[in-house]
């Protein structure tokens, strides 16, 4: 069985990937839970030196967008920078020393979001992040792109799946509606939700074909949070009247700014045979998994 070493394998995305690919690959997690902080350069190097894995998957990131924005003035001393940029630098340098292929998981938020709907961002479009978290992710991409070993950047958008312990926005919306709680959802912020289960095929083809370069893995549909909440209500038979519209300006007042349109074009990876489902398809699969298990 092939061995994969990675960071963030216990997170929302990573834990599901390990679950889905557990029969094909043996995974080793680099995290604080397993005794390694990615901000510790020597510790990261030691872990990679002790692994026979050909690939290192770097998923770990500081992802609290609004908290990151509060520390923006700290610059390179901020937690987001130390974790997302310096942590990535440590992983890259360790991969270079050990000759491993690096797969870095990035975000649609590296783009400025100024494209009119329904246009989408391709892998060739220039980045231009809005907000500090997004800036640190874009800077981390630059570190990866300068690496002297083979590298792959996979950008995803607002990932979701069935995990009831690590509740993402889909299950939070579902829970609110089930409890009769009102939801104010943004109607002028668009992205392509990534169904995490679809990343199984993305990772498999990256590993098998040793793909290098940048690939987008957003979902089939470009949607706003308002449209997502309504679709959740439709699929699970819940009350749409609890959902009302708000705007980015209103909802994120005093918080980190969000871009208008972060929709990803994923034709490059799809041309290799990867199927990225639409949002309703993803919800129907989640509904089935909640009833029958995954």
- The predicted pLDDT at position 203 comes to 97
CATH number of the 2-166+194-219+263-277 domain: 3.40.50.720
pTM of the predicted protein model? 0.96
Of 232, 135, 247, give the one whose Cα is nearest residue 189.
Answer: 247
Q: What is the mean pLDDT of each run of 10 residues along the chain (294 residues)?
A: 93 94 94 90 96 97 96 96 97 98 98 98 98 98 98 97 85 97 98 98 97 98 98 98 97 94 98 98 95 78
- The predicted pLDDT at position 294 comes to 65
- Are 147 and 96 contacting, i.e. CB atoms less than 8 angstroms apart? yes
Burial 186-219 (b: 16+ CB within 10 A, else e): bbbbbbbbbbbbbbbbbbebbbeeebeebbbbbb
Question: CA–CA distance from 76 to each of 46, 130, 139, 184, 238 (Å)?
Answer: 25, 17, 11, 35, 45
- The predicted pLDDT at position 181 comes to 98
């Amino acid at each position: 069985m092939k061995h994969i070493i990675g960071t963030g394998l216990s997170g929302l995305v990573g834990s599901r990937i390990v679950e889905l690919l557990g029969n094909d690959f043996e995974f080793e997690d680099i995290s604080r839970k397993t005794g390694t902080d990615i901000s510790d350069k020597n510790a990261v190097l030691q872990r990679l030196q002790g692994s026979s894995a050909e690939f290192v998957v770097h998923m770990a990131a500081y992802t609290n967008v609004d908290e990151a924005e509060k520390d923006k003035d700290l610059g390179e001393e901020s937690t987001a920078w130390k974790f997302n940029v310096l942590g990535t630098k440590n992983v890259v340098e360790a991969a270079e020393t050990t000759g491993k292929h690096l797969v870095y998981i990035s975000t649609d938020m590296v783009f400025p979001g100024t494209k009119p709907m329904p246009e989408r961002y391709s892998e060739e479009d220039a980045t231009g992040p809005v907000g500090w978290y997004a800036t640190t992710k874009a800077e981390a991409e630059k570190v990866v792109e300068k690496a002297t070993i083979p590298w792959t950047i996979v950008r995803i958008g607002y990932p979701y799946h069935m995990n009831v312990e690590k509740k993402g926005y889909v299950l939070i919306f579902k829970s609110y509606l089930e409890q009769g709680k009102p939801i104010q959802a943004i109607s002028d912020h668009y992205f392509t939700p990534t169904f995490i289960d679809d990343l199984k095929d993305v990772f498999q083809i990256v590993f098998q074909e040793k793909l290098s370069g940048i690939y987008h893995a957003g979902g089939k549909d470009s949607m706003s949070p308002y449209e997502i909440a309504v679709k959740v209500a439709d699929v699970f038979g819940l009350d749409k009247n609890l959902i009302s519209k708000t705007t980015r300006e209103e909802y994120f007042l005093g918080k980190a700014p969000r871009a208008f349109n972060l929709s990803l074009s994923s034709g490059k990876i799809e041309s290799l045979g990867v199927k990225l489902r639409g949002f309703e398809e993803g919800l129907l699969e989640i509904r089935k998994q909640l009833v029958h298990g995954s």
